[in-house]
């Protein structure tokens, strides 16, 4: 039973890691190679898998001539991948410490290295997803150690973060990405992220019904 829980948790950790990375920065050759080599990962990108251009040029060219161009278009120029843009009436970004998401990170003693992330504020889609990745990872460790109460607490935090933040705005943004994407990779990535976030929220909602007790949920299956 614990193994199943850990498997599911491991999947959550990995998928949050993957989508946070793809939606945060331009893809690099290493990551592209990983995606292409790992059939499990590649299966999350069905259109990209079939995309002609991918097959007709080197990864480097693919990145420089198509993927980075699309990333720039989607995340730097035309769309605004920040929660505050979607949530505030005035559509202004809050780049300082007063950003509510930033405050939330601070409450958990997490510091976002914005310079390393190369984003303007902590409520960037990629950063929020990486925050979920960090939480899931912590939850995984707790479950591994049998510290179920800690795991429950963490799961509750995850639920609340999704409910109050990501689910509130990320679907809108990701639908926009799907609509604007010029490459199959980012179309698929947006689709994956959208589906996964909603699915994960559904999962956590179920967990909530049993007060975030993982074992209880497993038993009820």
* Distance (Å, whole) CA 195 – CA 208: 20
Integer CA distances (angstroms), 106 to 66, 112, 121, in order: 37, 9, 13
HEC profile for 74-94?
Answer: HHHHCCCCEHHHHHCCCCCCC
User: Among 26, 32, 34, 215, which residue interacts with another protein (rule: CB under 8 A)?
Assistant: 34
Residue 69 and residue 15: Cα distance in Å, rounded? 24
Contact region for another protein (CB under 8 A) — 84-92, 93-101, 182-190, 209-217? 93-101
- The answer to the question of residue 114 lying near another protein (CB under 8 A) is yes
Tokens of 53: 């251009």
Among the listed residues 5, 18, 125, 142, the single contact to another protein using CB under 8 A: 18
Cα–Cα distances in Å, from 113 out to 127, 130, 141?
10, 12, 24
The conformation of residue 72, written as its DSSP 8-state character, comes to: I
Q: Which residue has the tokens 């990405």?
A: 177
Cβ–Cβ < 8 Å for 204, 213: no
**184 close to 169: Cβ distance less than 8 angstroms:** no
Least distance CB 174 / another protein (angstroms): 14
Q: Tell me how far, at minimum, the Cβ of 57 lies from another protein, in Å.
A: 24
Is residue 43 part of the contact set for another protein (CB under 8 A)? Answer: yes
**8 touches another protein (CB under 8 A):** yes
Please pick, from the candidates 70, 123, 130, 188, the single residue that binds another protein as defined by CB under 8 A: 130
Q: Which of residues 151-210 bind another protein (CB under 8 A)?
A: 195-196, 198-200, 202-203
- Binding residues with another protein: total (CB under 8 A): 52
Residue 37, both tokens:
């080599």
Give the C-alpha separation, 134 to 128, whole Å: 10
Among 106, 150, 208, 213, binds another protein (CB under 8 A): 106
**CA–CA gap between residue 52 and residue 34 (Å, rounded):** 19
Q: How far is the CB of 56 from another protein (least distance, A)?
A: 25
Q: Report, in Å, the least distance between residue 63 CB and another protein.
A: 16
Residue 207 CB, shortest distance to another protein, in Å, is 12
Does residue number 90 form part of the binding site for another protein (CB under 8 A)? no
Binding site for another protein (CB under 8 A): 7-8, 10-18, 20-21, 24-25, 31, 34, 37-38, 40-41, 43-44, 96-98, 102, 105-106, 109-117, 126-127, 130-131, 133-134, 137, 195-196, 198-200, 202-203
């Amino acid at each position: 039973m614990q193994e199943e829980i850990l498997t599911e948790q491991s999947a959550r950790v990995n998928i949050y890691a993957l989508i946070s990375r793809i939606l945060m920065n331009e893809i690099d050759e290493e990551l592209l190679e990983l995606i292409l080599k790992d059939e499990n990962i590649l299966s999350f990108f069905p259109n990209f898998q079939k995309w002609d251009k991918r097959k007709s040029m080197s990864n480097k060219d693919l990145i420089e001539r198509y993927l980075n161009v699309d990333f720039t278009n989607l995340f730097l120029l035309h769309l605004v991948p920040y929660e505050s843009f979607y949530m505030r009436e005035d559509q202004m970004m809050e780049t300082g410490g007063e950003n509510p998401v930033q405050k939330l990170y601070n409450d958990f003693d997490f510091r976002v290295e914005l310079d390393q992330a190369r984003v303007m504020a902590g409520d960037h889609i990629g950063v929020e997803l990486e925050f979920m990745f960090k939480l899931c990872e912590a939850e995984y460790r707790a479950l591994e150690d049998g510290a179920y109460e800690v795991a429950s607490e963490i799961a509750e935090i995850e639920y609340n973060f999704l409910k109050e933040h990501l689910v509130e705005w990320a679907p809108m943004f990701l639908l926009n990405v799907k609509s604007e994407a010029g490459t199959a990779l980012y179309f698929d990535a947006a689709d994956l992220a959208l589906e996964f976030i909603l699915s994960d929220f559904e999962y956590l909602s179920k967990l909530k019904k049993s007060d975030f007790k993982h074992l209880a949920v497993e038993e009820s299956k």
